[in-house]
Amino acid sequence: MSQEDGEPDISVVIPAYNEAGRIAEPLRRIHDHMQGRGLAAEFVIVDDGSTDGTADTVRRIGSDLGLVLRVLSAEHRGKGGAVRIGMTAARGRAVLMTDADLSSPIDELDRFMPHLRDGAHVVIGSRRLGGAVIEVHQPFLREAMGRVFTLLTQLFVVRVSDATCGFKLFTREAAHEIFSRLTLDDWSFDAEALFVARKLGYGFREVPIAWRDSAGTKVHRGRDAMLALIGLIRIRANALAGRYHLREGARPQPARAGGEPERSQ
């Protein structure tokens, strides 16, 4: 479908905080990928209160490449808040959430899109499933933090092999319904999104992914780890208080081709 009717094939949502120095090449790679696949794409870049001219850099690159581009500006609140703004504003039939450093290559999208065509509403990348390829690992402490967070997410929020991978694909309906209900701005927003998805009846599929750590992370280990743990508690508290306006079981959870049940439900 063309962009002229106002409905792109896919929206690419990228949260960006002080990314002026490294966002150009990922945008070019994504643009080339979409053109090579014949996909009409819009780019939704959410500038999370950057102080280094990220928004101006993105606009210049967008003009050079001829991107269908929207730059949304927000006060600096954290990745979760930026992603929420972008996902609820997306107009594409599919909505890809990815990090500004493109830690997962955009070519991984080729393995995600068939799941949407097969009836899934949410497809998430996993660095923990068999078949995942980790080219460059995170520093030990940060990787350990991610594993602990995922374990706690499994125990208290929702069963999933990798809660924090930044490469996730949604239908537009699912993106809007899920992210419009989210409340958390910190690292725990991923777990909140999957919790809400599950409670709304959206089945999600996990796909092993290629991934490499990139220098320049904005994560502060001690502070962000504590906020994320508090976030898991807040998810349960919000659910008990009815803040998500959930309709549990509202949708059937589609099976994989051949009737195989989905993972992590």
Q: Which domains does the chain have, with CATH numbers?
A: 3-244 (3.90.550.10)
- Is 249's pLDDT higher than 80? no
In a 13 Å sphere around the CA of 128, the CA atoms on its Cβ side amount to 18
Mean pLDDT calculated for residue range 116-138: 88
- Output the pTM of the full model: 0.87
Q: Which residue has the higher pLDDT, 115 or 150?
A: 115
Task: State pLDDT tens for residues 139-154.
Answer: 556 677 777 888 888 8
Question: What does residue 134 show for φ and ψ, rounded to 5 degrees?
Answer: -100, 105
- Is 258's pLDDT higher than 80? no
CB atoms within 10 A of CB 261: 10
Residue 5 makes CB contacts below 8 A (sequence gap 6+) with: none
